[in-house]
Chain A
């Protein structure tokens, strides 16, 4: 397994990556009925199954893939919202697993997560003010003026204006897109260094979406926040990120510069995913991806390449041998990594 820190263009400052992940795994043991368990081994759901990744300071990295491929689990595992079953996560060099609960709790101020579903994630009994104040209380920011300033700034950042108008509203008094932005503001009040945002723009219309994505870009520039964005919106990922990782059944199967991945995907799964994005022209019919829409559950994974049952170009070899994660040539100059037997590896020039 090659070191991915070499896969990004060297950052201007030669600092270490803000987040580094090695062989990260999150397996769930599926609860089976006692009768079934007599006859079968316990089933393992390999939600995240060997992820390697490194994110530079100030980088925006997006992970894309179908629902159920493990994106949310990966995001939560990165910040120890759920515990991994194997692997290593380093934030600015510190191994997060080595931290005690109280140390981790302190660390959380710098590591924020914006959950996928605002309808689920926001306590309906608190007003927007209460919702935004809560994380500050937890992290000991109790000065009222300070709290107020942070709340206003965060609401302005997410374009909920006039901010004062939203403070006393309860979640049910907000529209879906407004809720989603409250959730985002909640992460911002703590002034974090790293944000995992799970589908941050799914409920926003085109114009607000573009603005929220611009906001993320501004936050990166102004506050030097690094982002791990989880999205099925490949357009947004391309618009926003420096690099994109494509995830399939618990693994990153392709990774490279954002534009490169979208314009010239190498892995058959990336291709299918990108082909299925509808164009806005009403005359063009809705395309189907050609690979069906059923993501198999990551239990009983097939041997060989885990994409082979759906892959349009699979060969006999794919059914038997695991493809290797390796660098492949790409039209852009950026480093492109993928795991597929059918993509020729990059030739290392002889010295």
Chain B
């Protein structure tokens, strides 16, 4: 245990973002049993690094992203933990100071961003908005900056005068990216940047994100259900299950030798057109109820390796290899799955 903590604080020193024991719950009011959407999460992102986040629908990925940028809906609250951005604690910043962080330090492409555009304002006006709020570019130059940004994401500059409904899904997503990088953030969170886009546009959007990152050297948190995309884009990948990160490793390691049963099963459930359908395995059972999660390992109810111990105790996230952490008592047996 102590080894783990030491290692962690060692590489935390240079981290762009460091998240310790973060918990975010949703509740209507005090009497409501909270949804523990994020429950004790630890991870870091280095400058220029891409961290991919995958996991079952509803496991807390978007909530984690929204916590980092402090854009949770009113029901959501960070109830515990620390978010350090360039060494500064931002998890408990008062609302008035949160605005300084959003867009300028951390920006986010929200899930469903294609619909987040205001239908009655031109694309240019909307991209100009963060520039105005942060007053990064003098007013007279904003027009030019907007055009520059559009060009960066391979859109014609005259898209600035168009309304969102005039753009295709792929174009809207690129406009959302332009908006997200407008203030040159140090950390970009992209929540499902390629869903609802066809394969050809997907590849293009992903290549674009990678290129922008090479140019601007921001750290990136990419949330995606597209495993193939995430594998290619990420330096490291975190796998989330039931509000927790249960495994984290470099993409190659995770792909070749996962050490958490959920990760292994997730990879087996991948539908790849090159694989005959009968090789696809689905994961039986349902995800844990985040209002009342089981006390031991949250995956125990669905895990083929589960034992008595798993139901009684919660497995800690432990170092299992180089840059590789997993939270499973029986991680040595995962390769046999």
Contacts and interface: CB of A to CB of B under 8 A. Distances in A.
A117 B228 contact: no
A259 B276 CA distance: 8
A161 B58 CA distance: 12
Interface in A238-279: 238-239, 259, 262, 272-274, 276-279
Contacts of B274: 277, 279
A235 B271 contact: yes
Nearest to A67: B198
A67 B197 CA distance: 7
A243 B165 CA distance: 32
B132 interface: no
A280 B282 contact: no
B124 interface: no
A43 to B, nearest CB: 14
B289 A165 contact: yes
B111 interface: yes
Interface stretch (A189-197, A209-217, A315-323): A209-217
Residue in B200, B206, B251 with the greatest tally of chain A CB atoms within 10 Å:
B200
B266 A206 contact: yes
Interface string B271-306: 111101100111100100101000000000000000
B252 A283 contact: yes
B283 A207 contact: yes
B207 interface: yes
A6 interface: no
A300 interface: no
Given A173-B26, A176-B62, A117 B115 contact: yes
A110 B68 CA distance: 45
Contacts of B54: 205
A161 B286 contact: yes
Nearest to A288: B203
B192 A203 contact: yes
B201 interface: yes
17 contacts: A65-B198, A66-B199, A172-B73, A173-B26, A173-B75, A176-B192, A202-B195, A205-B266, A234-B199, A235-B271, A238-B271, A273-B199, A278-B232, A280-B228, A282-B231, A286-B229, A291-B200
Residue in A211, A281, A293, A295 with the greatest tally of chain B CB atoms within 10 Å:
A293
Interface string A57-68: 000000001111
A76 B68 CA distance: 39
